[in-house]
């Protein structure tokens, strides 16, 4: 494995490379060159990289190159990386370039090892937008006849292990009314769509989604964007609210829509339902390997989205250095020791996964 100084230098270099979603090319170029200098020939899929070593079932290490744009409130240059008292400041230093550095180091540690499986490294574009990078990598692995047998998604979790992740449904609640001049509405007996929507928004508090999921807790619903009216003196003929629904495996998407529909008078429309929840059994071999690599890790369910959502039908965990609370914040930072711990953890996890496969085959 690289020395601590080399790991931190790699992390600072990639953090200093601008890679806001849609601008990942330069960072992908740098990392492709790094892998090639170390004897690995990655495939380039757009501005995502896919590298593999070994043969057999695939263990995929997947994390993302892109960042969100800098949030308002930065007091330093987001791309001028600074290390101050053990904190590394820079946009993406925590989310998720700590994972990029740590997974890359772990992958290179096994580039000449005799593993009982294929180790794959995916450094992907577009995670902060639509997940296009991971989707393209999974499609390429499928095309090669190498679908992952297990996957680790690198996101800042404090190296605790997320064995489940909530999904997201985006719904629209629409109320109909009678558009007319506001001065005549009472005399005409016109129905005001804004009032109807207001009643429905209050009624949403009575939706029963059933008992909470053991890891993910309850399904949650929040109205986020409310629209009504076209002019000050016109009674709105339609009023709408966007509903952000964080889902669990407790109910399928159709059941969620049906339960909302029972308590509202308006129409419930599905705007997006592709981001489904995921969960991995706690007794799976992948989880056991993660705990062998880090016995003190906490198993938990994650409310935030990641490319874990695209890992359909395989054991997958989300785990990485850094803290999710620092993601997308001004003056984002990660601790130097967190980056080093991440590299050690991923390296031990690959070794533990190999040992457990060998033990099972013995």
Q: How far apart are CA 51 and CA 32, in angstroms?
A: 9
Say if residue 262 is in the same domain as residue 293. no
Asked whether the whole model's pTM tops 0.75, one would answer yes
Rounded to an integer, the average pLDDT of 349-357 is 95
| Domain-terminating residue out of 226, 259, 275 | 275
Predicted confidence at residue 75, as pLDDT, reads: 97
Convert the pLDDT of each residue in 141-183 to its tens digit.
999 999 999 999 999 999 999 999 999 999 999 999 999 999 9
What mean pLDDT value characterizes the chain?
Answer: 96
| CATH for 93 | 3.40.630.10
Say yes or no to pLDDT of 48 above 90: yes
Convert the pLDDT of each residue in 50-60 to its tens digit.
999 999 999 99
Look at the chain and report how many structural domains it folds into.
2
Say if residue 19 is in the same domain as residue 122. yes
Predicted confidence at residue 247, as pLDDT, reads: 97
Say yes or no to pLDDT of 186 above 80: yes
Predicted confidence at residue 361, as pLDDT, reads: 80
Confidence of residue 1 (pLDDT cuts 50, 70, 90): confident
Q: How far apart are CA 235 and CA 182, in angstroms?
A: 5
Convert the pLDDT of each residue in 93-144 to its tens digit.
999 999 999 999 999 999 999 999 999 999 999 999 989 999 999 999 999 9
Say if residue 174 is in the same domain as residue 322. no
| Domain-terminating residue out of 212, 241, 275 | 275
Confidence of residue 360 (pLDDT cuts 50, 70, 90): confident
Going by the DSSP 8-state scheme, the letter that residue 304 receives in this structure is S
Say if residue 76 is in the same domain as residue 222. no
Rounded to an integer, the average pLDDT of 285-308 is 96
Predicted confidence at residue 130, as pLDDT, reads: 87
Predicted confidence at residue 358, as pLDDT, reads: 87
Exposed, middle or buried, 116 (CB in 10 Å: 0-12/13-18/19+)? Answer: middle
| Domain-terminating residue out of 275, 292, 311 | 275
The DSSP secondary structure of 192-252, one letter per residue, reads: -HHHHHHHHHHHGGG----SPBTTTB--EEEEEEEEE-SSTTEE-SEEEEEEEEEE-TTS-
Say if residue 250 is in the same domain as residue 285. no
Say yes or no to pLDDT of 356 above 90: yes
Say yes or no to pLDDT of 79 above 80: yes
| CATH for 263 | 3.30.70.360
Say yes or no to pLDDT of 362 above 80: no
Q: How far apart are CA 362 and CA 357, in angstroms?
A: 9
What domain range includes position 254?
Answer: 167-275
Predicted confidence at residue 59, as pLDDT, reads: 98
Predicted confidence at residue 284, as pLDDT, reads: 96
């Amino acid at each position: 494995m690289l020395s601590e100084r080399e790991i931190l230098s790699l992390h600072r270099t990639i953090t200093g490379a601008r890679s806001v979603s849609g601008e990942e090319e330069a960072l992908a170029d740098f990392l492709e060159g790094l892998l090639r200098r170390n004897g690995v020939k990655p495939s380039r899929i757009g501005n995502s990289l896919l590298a593999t070593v070994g043969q057999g079932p695939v263990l995929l290490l997947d994390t993302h190159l892109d960042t969100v744009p800098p949030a308002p409130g930065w007091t330093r240059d987001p791309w001028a990386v600074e290390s101050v008292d053990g904190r590394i400041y820079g946009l993406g230093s925590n989310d998720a370039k700590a994972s990029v550095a740590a997974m890359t180091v772990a992958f290179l540690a096994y580039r000449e090892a005799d593993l009982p499986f294929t180790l794959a490294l995916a450094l992907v574009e577009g995670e902060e937008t639509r997940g296009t990078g991971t989707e393209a990598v999974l499609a390429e692995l499928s095309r090669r006849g190498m679908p992952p047998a297990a996957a680790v998604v690198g996101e800042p979790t404090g190296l605790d292990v997320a064995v489940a992740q909530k999904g997201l449904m985006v719904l629209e609640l629409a109320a109909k009314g009678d558009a007319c001049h506001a001065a005549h509405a009472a005399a005409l007996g016109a129905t005001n769509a804004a009032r109807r929507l207001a009643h429905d928004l209050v009624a949403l508090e009575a939706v029963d989604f059933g008992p909470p999921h053991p890891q993910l807790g309850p399904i949650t619903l929040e109205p986020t964007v409310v629209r009504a009216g076209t002019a000050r003196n016109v009674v709105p003929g339609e009023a709408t609210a966007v509903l952000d629904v964080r889902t669990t495996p407790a109910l399928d998407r159709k059941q969620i829509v049906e339960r909302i529909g029972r308590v509202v008078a308006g129409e419930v429309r599905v705007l997006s339902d592709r981001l489904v929840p995921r969960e991995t059994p706690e007794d799976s071999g992948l989880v056991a390997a993660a705990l062998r690599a880090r016995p003190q890790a906490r198993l938990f369910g994650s409310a935030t989205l990641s490319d874990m959502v695209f890992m359909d039908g395989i054991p997958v965990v989300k785990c990485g250095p850094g803290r999710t609370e620092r993601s997308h914040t001004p003056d984002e930072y990660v601790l130097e020791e967190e980056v080093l711990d991440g590299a050690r953890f991923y390296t031990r996890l690959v070794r533990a996964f190999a040992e457990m496969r060998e033990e099972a085959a013995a």
